[in-house]
Structure 1
Amino acid sequence: MHHSMKSDSFLRPGLIKYHNARRSNNPIKYLGSLVPQDITGATLEKFPMVSHSAPSPMSQLPARLIPSVLRPCRGGMLTLLALSTSLILSACGVGGGSSVWGEAPSGPGLGTSQTPTAQSATRGDAPEGTPGADNALTGMGGSTLALGDSGYLTPPPNAVRQIEGIPVAILVPLSGRLAGPGKALLEGAQMALFDVGNPEFRLMPFDTMGTALGAEQAARSAINKGARLIVGPLLADSVTAVRPIAEAANIKVVAFSNSSRVAGGPIFLAGFTPEEQVDAIVAHAMAEGRRRFAVLAPSNDYGNVSVDALRASVERRGGEFSRVGFYNPDALDFSEQIQSLSDYKSRVQALKQQRAELSAQGDQASKQALKRMEVLDTWGDPPFDALLLPVLDPQTLQILSAQLAYYDVDQPTVRLLGLQRWDSFPNLASEPGLIGSQFPAARSAYRDQFEARFAQLFGHGASDLSALSYDVTAVAAALARPSASGPKYDVATLTDPQGFIGAEGLFRFQENGIAQRGFAIMEVQSSGVRMIQEAPRSFDQPVTTYPPQPTEGTTPAQPTS
């Protein structure tokens, strides 16, 4: 790459712009300064801090019944059947035979449209009037619920009541600074509750207030109320606080955290761990022929976990773990780290040496070679052919991609790799330095259905946290089936090797407590972000490159933006 002058002055206007943009973002700031590892595949920064502004009215919800059919999988094939527009989670190999739930009950009050009250909260508000642990949420009639009957803040009296059934607690922050994410989690859980419609299942919400102490108190209350399973909490510190309580009560916890350090024993993590994401993108890169890996990471827990995960994955697969660089996550200039990581100054000196040797020879071929070298700033490639960038925000990625190209770390010589976090960043294709970069992403054929149903039900778009909570709650509801030994919340059932598939795609819990997921691989192209490898539909399915090579008379798949 040629630059007339190696000065960072050209970057200054852009850095100022990124600086101002970053400082204007949500004070939660991606939770990076709170618990960097607790980025559960969701964009928590989308949720504003708690406010008390006047809410906007929700649109009127339609009246229709949501009978659902949930069938266990056979032979490793995942089956999802739903009547109407309902989306439910498909369980594989659970309970043996097929089970049909959701026979539509008859009687007054079902199928009648209701308009939510004006007490709706804004998207970041703590949900006032949320039912407490004494009022477990349940579908009307125990099996189905009209869409209009599931208003978030003011459910109808006969939809929120104390009933007999298998109690499952959900621990989420319904007040405090994380009330916005907590509301999203509870909304996803409610939707799963109504869609699955299991009369044997009831959900008890408990407020953790977004703190470890609050989570501990909520867990004790849940145990006292007879909870057979705990769903949540969100953050790693809260999971740590809940662990001894769950161990003493001999019950399992399915938490939303993605911090693998808190997994194991009674704790199962539903969050998207960096380790799983790193391994997915390393596997793909090595299948493409990449062998020497480097990482440039933020100097925090999230960066440390990503570095350790890359080292383990590369060495396990027989590759070379080449270089490591760290940067201050609040910095706006990474030139020093990039130059060091890529041996930039050594490559500049190598170019000078090559020019000197050719000039000394003086023959025509050497002169032609010197002419061609006029556009070069360095000689030789960086000491790696794949570079992982586990960034937390799009502004940092924009600066990094520009400076990497500026210091001759160019694609396709070096493939830039990301993690699922990239999937939430807008306008990736507008950054020239990112063209050709790749990252893993959760992809499900049912996500569009989930998002449409969610918007219809709650009057606003679904977040990744809502989808995550939906899947976990659907599993809990699906496993709450009558049996001689009670609900199937034992390790053997939770770690069924065939797994589950839902709004966030294919997943299964492993005995170490970490959720294994099936990722698609996305590539940033000039026309948009395109899927180049499909997410597997089962854990027995080999990965397939997408789109397949078109046959004669067919049209290749188009990229998505």
Structure 2
Amino acid sequence: MFDAVKRLALAGLGALALAGCAVIPGGNEAPVRNEPAVMLPPPPPPPPDADALPVDVERHRIALLVPLSGENAEVGQSIANASTMALLDTGAQNLRITTYDTGAGAGDAARRAVADGNRLILGPLVRDDVAPVLAAARPAATPLLTFSNDTSVAQRDVFVMGHIPDQSVARVVTFAVDQGARTFAALAPRGDYGDRALRALEQAVTASGARVVRSERYDRNNTSILSAADRLRAAGGYDTVLIADGARLAAMAAPRLKDAGQALPSIIGTELWSREDELTRTPALRGAWFAAVPDARYRQFAASYVSRFGSEPYRIATLGYDSVLLTLRLARDWQPGRPLVPAMLTDEGGFLGLDGPIRFSADGVGHRALEVRQIGNGAFTVVDPAPTGS
């Protein structure tokens, strides 16, 4: 029995010995060494995304949505340049404005702007782009300050900043009635702009106790507006005519409505006549009136723009400049990173910019103080300054 126990003990020792050895190819054995583990350095962080904006804790992220490609690219670039001017002129350090091109799709531009964390959108430029931009912005509680002049897109979170033709028509009609006008006629192009101008004329004239007695519509070409003007002159029965179109067609139509030097009918126009020097070279338009935003500060802005960018700005470019001034005003009571409450835009005191004061009502419509200008021989004259009160 002793021999058996001895054999079992020897077998156990052999097993323990084998348990402490590693088998190496070739049948040799080597003892296992408990070497310290090697600590590898952590992998380097991934490179930053070139398209991602850095984190902002002290600046407001603002998106500027304008066309930088396509048919309106020059207008969009002019607005973008003006917004850059405003940042430089004010030395603003609490705004980060990023520009997104709507030329290839306004909806895509808005989705990128929202994903980048922008809390206010300046733009878009045209009415048809408002709906796709709003579809991306509203779920993120991001209001729009659109450069469109169409009040039909105004909503509780869409504020219309453009120069609204309805307000221009109402202002000049009120002035004309004060000068003795009682019966109105109109030349208006077919389409949305003409429809809006005629509605505004009817509302303003009725509110003033006067009458609209006739209107003629036309296609926007030379032959059509001349024929419409001839029909209107032949009909007669009015003392004032609204030409709801730009300078070129207005200058063509006016001589068909009255002879140079003839007192009546008085001719009135819209905000489209602002800074259109061609009108001052048309004798039949001498004494005509139109209403527009004050122009004095624009001349200084335009000179500065030319010195910086080497070309004349579009008249609408002031909206880009003023939108930055307005945003800086909002930033006084707006914490970076927090949503902008739309009601902050409806301050009763309004906001002051290059184009004068603007006040937004709760429905999103921007109301402006307009001046009335008269066309003279080679120059415009302000005959009724813009109101300065609230």
- Aligned-partner Cα distance in 1 for 2:119–2:319: 20
Once the two structures are superposed, the pairs formed by residues 288-307 of structure 1 within 5 Å of their partners are 288-307=179-198
Displacement of 1:334 in angstroms is 3.8
Matched, 1:537 2:375: no
Amino acid at match of 1:477: L
Displacement of 1:536 in angstroms is 2.5
Given the two structures, how large is their TM-score scaled by the length of structure 1? 0.57
- Aligned-partner Cα distance in 2 for 1:328–1:176: 25
Q: Identify the match of residue 256 of structure 2 among 390, 394, 403.
A: 403
- Aligned-partner Cα distance in 2 for 1:235–1:252: 16
1:402 partner SS:
helix
Cα deviation 1:337-376 (Å, max 9, x = unaligned): 23433444xxxxxxxxxxxxxxxxxxxxxxxxxxxxxxxx
Work out whether residues 369 and 386 of structure 2, in 8 Å CA contact, stay in contact via their aligned partners in 1: yes
Q: Provide the identity percentage.
A: 30
Q: Identify the match of residue 76 of structure 2 among 173, 176, 182.
A: 182
Q: Identify the match of residue 270 of structure 1 among 144, 157, 161.
A: 161
Task: Check 1:335–1:427 CA distance in 2 against 1; reply closer, same or farther (3 A cut).
Answer: closer
Once the two structures are superposed, the pairs formed by residues 18-57 of structure 1 within 5 Å of their partners are none
Displacement of 1:203 in angstroms is 0.6
- Aligned-partner Cα distance in 1 for 2:87–2:291: 29
Cα deviation 1:48-85 (Å, max 9, x = unaligned): xxxxxxxxxxxxxxxxxxxxxxxxxxxxxxxxxxxxxx
The structure that is strand-richer by fraction is: 2
Amino acid at match of 2:258: A
The structure that is helix-richer by fraction is: 2
Task: Check 1:528–1:457 CA distance in 2 against 1; reply closer, same or farther (3 A cut).
Answer: closer
Q: What runs of 5+ residues in structure 1 fail to find an aligned partner?
A: 1-131, 136-160, 345-381, 540-561
- Aligned-partner Cα distance in 2 for 1:334–1:309: 20
2:91 is aligned to 197
Given the two structures, how large is their TM-score scaled by the length of structure 2? 0.80
Cα deviation 1:438-490 (Å, max 9, x = unaligned): 11122154333323332333233333122111001221133123656976843
- Aligned-partner Cα distance in 1 for 2:62–2:329: 12
Work out whether residues 60 and 336 of structure 2, in 8 Å CA contact, stay in contact via their aligned partners in 1: no
Matched, 1:236 2:127: yes
Displacement of 1:207 in angstroms is 0.8
Work out whether residues 359 and 367 of structure 2, in 8 Å CA contact, stay in contact via their aligned partners in 1: yes
Work out whether residues 390 and 419 of structure 1, in 8 Å CA contact, stay in contact via their aligned partners in 2: yes
Cα deviation 1:204-234 (Å, max 9, x = unaligned): 111111x6xx111111111111111100011
- Aligned-partner Cα distance in 1 for 2:341–2:320: 20
1:536 partner SS:
coil
Cα deviation 1:99-152 (Å, max 9, x = unaligned): xxxxxxxxxxxxxxxxxxxxxxxxxxxxxxxxx9745xxxxxxxxxxxxxxxxx
- Aligned-partner Cα distance in 2 for 1:328–1:483: 48
Work out whether residues 141 and 339 of structure 2, in 8 Å CA contact, stay in contact via their aligned partners in 1: no
Q: Identify the match of residue 458 of structure 1 among 296, 309, 331.
A: 309
Work out whether residues 169 and 229 of structure 1, in 8 Å CA contact, stay in contact via their aligned partners in 2: yes
2:62 is aligned to 168
1:316 is aligned to 207
- Aligned-partner Cα distance in 2 for 1:437–1:290: 13
Task: Check 1:486–1:385 CA distance in 2 against 1; reply closer, same or farther (3 A cut).
Answer: farther
2:387 partner SS:
coil
Task: Check 1:276–1:489 CA distance in 2 against 1; reply closer, same or farther (3 A cut).
Answer: farther
- Aligned-partner Cα distance in 1 for 2:310–2:76: 17
- Aligned-partner Cα distance in 2 for 1:162–1:538: 42
RMSD value, Cα: 2.4
Matched, 1:442 2:299: no
Work out whether residues 134 and 162 of structure 1, in 8 Å CA contact, stay in contact via their aligned partners in 2: no
Displacement of 1:163 in angstroms is 4.5
Matched, 1:525 2:379: no
Displacement of 1:423 in angstroms is 1.7
- Aligned-partner Cα distance in 1 for 2:281–2:203: 33
Work out whether residues 226 and 252 of structure 2, in 8 Å CA contact, stay in contact via their aligned partners in 1: no
Q: Identify the match of residue 240 of structure 2 among 386, 393, 403.
A: 386
Displacement of 1:240 in angstroms is 2.1
Displacement of 1:287 in angstroms is 1.4
Instruction: Please say which structure displays the higher CA radius of gyration.
Output: 2
Once the two structures are superposed, the pairs formed by residues 418-429 of structure 1 within 5 Å of their partners are 418-429=269-280
- Aligned-partner Cα distance in 1 for 2:342–2:333: 18
Task: Check 1:488–1:498 CA distance in 2 against 1; reply closer, same or farther (3 A cut).
Answer: farther
2:148 is aligned to 257
- Aligned-partner Cα distance in 1 for 2:256–2:168: 25
1:286 is aligned to 177
Task: Check 1:308–1:216 CA distance in 2 against 1; reply closer, same or farther (3 A cut).
Answer: same
Displacement of 1:171 in angstroms is 0.4
1:436 partner SS:
coil
Cα deviation 1:512-557 (Å, max 9, x = unaligned): 2221111111111235221111122343xxxxxxxxxxxxxxxxxx
Displacement of 1:300 in angstroms is 1.5
1:370 is aligned to none
Work out whether residues 186 and 243 of structure 2, in 8 Å CA contact, stay in contact via their aligned partners in 1: yes
- Aligned-partner Cα distance in 2 for 1:519–1:482: 29
- Aligned-partner Cα distance in 2 for 1:185–1:162: 26
Amino acid at match of 1:330: N
- Aligned-partner Cα distance in 2 for 1:281–1:449: 26
Amino acid at match of 1:202: R
2:34 is aligned to none
Matched, 1:247 2:135: no
Amino acid at match of 2:63: A
